């Protein structure tokens, strides 16, 4: 091939910069960087902003590097993940003034002082901020964020265990465009804080201490993550159902304070598509009944490890959850009877998790193989009563691409 190029006076070095740029757009991030180091012509072509569109730079900010941020700006990189940080966070904000996304998750040295020094002005371009596991930050940081990042759409606070309901009140004032809020394991967050996000005023003395400003709420929220928020109860779900009318996804996994009554409130939300109730110990079959009766348009529901969910719950699902596409039932106390009711009624399921459902047999698998032609993924981990006969039925599904058989042992047919 090289001889052909040479005979026709063609060589890769003769390609127009525009052609090189198109080629470089197809490289992964590491190879893009290597291309920049080959020669001046390649560097100039590779520095075209089209090559780096949507790329997130992953940085170790250990010592001063005067050329780093100008290089990123020249390439049009506006998404930054800080892997380790020994310099100040302000260097990033100043160095990339039109930054769009900043991920500093796991940077344990970040504290309120770091945030305060970095956020000294409004940054309208920043729409995505990830502070997960930055355990030192408190409500003081959220006050600065609410003041300076008014266009923020995504805020990740997983593991920020010093955040309180006051912080959520601050968020409700300043972040009116917020669409994604993750509060996983924020142990001090409780129902009044959720109420703040929904525009509910709970405590007038609390508001007086904070200048009695109105509470607009975060009505644009589409995702709310409350995983392992142990102080959240059904009252919080009442606030959510009344205020967050655009909510599409809510994660309540490991929320022991949520009961069937809380799910009854959520069942009335027409926009809700994805509900995670994994390991909610106080959720029972009745919760699925409420969702079915409420005309729910849920496309995904996870009740894995809910030991009080069984065949009756599946009967409820089959009666009204016709939009369902993703169903997780791992370790639930279900049998072929309940699962068959779902299989015979809901024909559009794409993913199914029945891992460790030890009472499921080939009878269910045969029905699934016959009727669920759109199934792409099935988890049979620990389903020890199935045999190769049932698996053969499953394996014939035209769309199946993921099959988990962990802990399964072959049973010889008699």
Q: What is the pLDDT of residues 104-150, one digit of tens each?
A: 999 989 999 999 999 999 999 999 999 999 999 999 999 999 999 99
Q: Given 230, 251, 272, which residue is the final one in a domain?
A: 251
**What's the mean per-residue pLDDT of the chain?**
87
Residue 213 and residue 355 in one domain: no
Residue 12 and residue 70 in one domain: no
352 occurs within a structural domain: yes
Residue 330 and residue 390 in one domain: yes
pLDDT top residue among 86 and 254:
254
157: left (phi over 0), alpha (psi -120 to 50) or beta: alpha
Q: Which domain holds residue 214?
A: 55-251
- CATH assignment at residue 353: 3.80.10.10
Structurally, how many domains does the chain consist of? Answer: 3
The rounded percent of the chain whose pLDDT value lies above 70 is 82
Residue 72 and residue 203 in one domain: yes
Could you tell me if 117 and 143 are in contact, meaning their C-beta atoms sit under 8 angstroms apart? no
- CATH assignment at residue 26: 1.20.1280
Residue 42 and residue 63 in one domain: no
pLDDT top residue among 56 and 251:
251
Residue 48 and residue 93 in one domain: no
Residue 49 and residue 69 in one domain: no
pLDDT of residue 65: 79
pLDDT top residue among 371 and 209:
371
66 occurs within a structural domain: yes
148 occurs within a structural domain: yes
Residue 356 and residue 340 in one domain: yes
Question: What residues contact residue 241 under an 8 Å CB cut-off, 6+ apart?
Answer: 265, 266, 268, 269
Question: What residues contact residue 81 under an 8 Å CB cut-off, 6+ apart?
Answer: 56, 57, 58, 59, 103, 104
Q: Phi and psi dihedrals of 409, rounded to 5?
A: -125, 140
Residue 81 and residue 225 in one domain: yes
359 occurs within a structural domain: yes
pLDDT of residue 320: 87
pLDDT at residue 9 tops 90:
no
267 occurs within a structural domain: no
Model confidence band, residue 56 (pLDDT cutoffs 50, 70, 90): confident
Q: Given 53, 73, 88, which residue is the final one in a domain?
A: 53
Q: Which of 244, 196, 199 is nearest to 220 (CA)?
A: 244
pLDDT one-digit tens code per residue, 172-190: 999 999 999 999 999 999 9
pLDDT one-digit tens code per residue, 300-344: 999 999 999 999 999 999 998 999 999 999 999 999 999 999 999
pLDDT of residue 411: 41
Q: Which of 256, 267, 261 is nearest to 226 (CA)?
A: 256
279 occurs within a structural domain: no
Q: Phi and psi dihedrals of 49, rounded to 5?
A: -65, -25
Q: What is the mean pLDDT of residues 259-279?
A: 96
Residue 40 and residue 156 in one domain: no
Residue 62 and residue 177 in one domain: yes
**How many Cα atoms are found within 13 Å in the side-chain-facing hemisphere of 173?**
20
pLDDT of residue 5: 44
278 occurs within a structural domain: no
277 occurs within a structural domain: no
Residue 89 and residue 195 in one domain: yes
């Amino acid at each position: 091939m090289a001889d052909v190029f040479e005979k026709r006076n063609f060589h890769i070095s003769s390609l127009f910069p525009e052609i090189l740029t198109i080629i470089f757009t197809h490289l992964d991030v590491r190879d893009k960087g290597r291309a920049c180091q080959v020669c001046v012509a390649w560097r100039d072509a590779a520095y075209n902003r089209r090559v780096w569109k949507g790329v997130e730079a992953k940085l170790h900010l250990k010592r001063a590097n005067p050329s780093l941020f100008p290089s990123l700006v020249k390439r049009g990189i506006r998404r930054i993940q800080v892997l380790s940080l020994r310099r100040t966070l302000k260097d990033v904000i100043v160095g990339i003034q039109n930054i769009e996304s900043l991920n500093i998750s796991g940077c344990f040295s970040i504290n309120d002082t770091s945030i305060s020094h970095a956020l000294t002005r409004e940054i309208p371009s920043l729409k995505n901020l990830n502070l997960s596991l930055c355990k030192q930050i408190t409500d003081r940081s959220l006050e600065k964020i609410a003041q300076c990042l008014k266009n923020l759409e995504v805020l990740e606070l997983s593991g920020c265990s010093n955040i309180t309901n006051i912080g959520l009140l601050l968020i409700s004032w300043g972040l009116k465009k917020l669409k994604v809020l993750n509060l996983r394991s924020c142990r001090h967050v409780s129902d009044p804080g959720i109420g703040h996000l929904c525009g509910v005023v709970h405590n007038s003395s609390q508001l007086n201490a904070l200048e009695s400003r109105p509470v607009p709420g975060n009505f644009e929220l589409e995702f709310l993550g409350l995983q392992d928020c142990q102080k959240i109860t059904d009252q919080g779900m009442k606030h959510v159902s009344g205020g967050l009318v655009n909510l599409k996804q809510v994660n309540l996994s490991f929320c022991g304070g949520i009961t069937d009554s809380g799910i009854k409130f959520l069942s009335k939300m027409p926009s809700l598509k994805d509900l995670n109730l994994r390991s909610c110990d106080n959720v029972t079959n009745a919760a699925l009944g409420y969702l079915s009766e409420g005309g729910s348009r849920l496309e995904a529901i996870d009740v894995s490890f809910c030991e009080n969910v069984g065949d009756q719950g599946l009967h409820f699902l089959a009666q009204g959850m016709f939009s369902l596409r993703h169903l997780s039932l791992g370790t639930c106390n279900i049998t072929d009877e309940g699962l068959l009711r779902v299989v015979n009624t809901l024909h559009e399921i794409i993913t199914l998790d029945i891992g460790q459902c030890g009472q499921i047999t080939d009878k269910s698998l045969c029905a699934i193989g016959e009727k669920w032609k759109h199934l792409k993924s099935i988890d049979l981990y620990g389903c020890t009563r199935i045999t190769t006969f049932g698996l053969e039925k499953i394996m014939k599904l035209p769309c199946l691409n993921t099959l988990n058989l962990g802990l399964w042992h072959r049973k010889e047919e008699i």
